[in-house]
Amino acid sequence: MTYKTILASAAAILAFSLPAFADKATEDYVEENANEVLRTLNDPALSASERTSTFNAYMDEFTDMRAVSNFAIGKYARRFSPEELERYREAFRTYALAVYEVQLDQYRGESVVVTGSTDRNERDSIVDTTIRRADGKDMDVRWRVLTRNGEYQVVDVALNLEGNLIWLAIEQRAQFLSLLDRQNGSADALINKINSMTAKLRADQAAGRNPGLGSNDASE
């Protein structure tokens, strides 16, 4: 069984074990903001650099990058020095935003439609959506949303990669922890690897190659 198959199976088991029906406010939050992100990707008035800048600013607001970056390195979030943690978070943010932009950009569509939702608890929900496309090649995307002090923020996104819904933060956590365990917890080793992953992602995008996550495996 491949690593991605294991992750996809775990996500499926998680989904079936969740109690049903997130509140409508959570669903509306995802639908409104996901459509705003989609409009940014589809805006013909923006140059490539303007679109990336606008997209990144919106995703920074929509997504709790600090929480996602801490999750991705687990115990090492407490072991890095403050300076190392800050450098890692910036490298991670740049990479994560590039992943979101590149993957979603491959599935530009007309609208994002909520198809269902589940509650893990009163503060933690998963919202299922579909990006509708005129050519019929719709894309399923799942959003994990946490509620803190009445505010919503996305902490993970599952995209359809190679036929499986892969949770990006979970995927990166497994890769990053493997690298850190082999490199004696070296923040520099992880940061250098993340920067090289970002560079490769952008190079693949510029060359018109499919920049799948597997080609950027941090466990190498």
Mean pLDDT of 157-163: 77
Domain positions in the chain = 3-216
Mean pLDDT of 213-217: 49
Q: What is the pLDDT of residue 81?
A: 97
Strands (E), 82-123: 111-121
CA 175 to CA 54: how far, in whole Å?
A: 29
187 vs 67, higher pLDDT: 187
Both tokens assigned to 106:
């491959």
pLDDT single digits (tens) 114-128: 999 998 888 899 999
Q: How far apart are the first and last CA of the chain?
A: 19
pTM for this one? Answer: 0.76
CA 145 to CA 158: how far, in whole Å?
A: 12
Domain 3-216: give its CATH superfamily: Tgt2/MlaC (3.10.450.710)
Q: What are residue 164's DSSP bridge partners? A: 161
Q: Is the pLDDT of residue 83 over 90?
A: yes
Mean pLDDT of 77-95: 96
Tell me the pLDDT band of 8, cut-offs 50, 70 and 90. Answer: very low
The three-class DSSP label of residue 207 is: coil
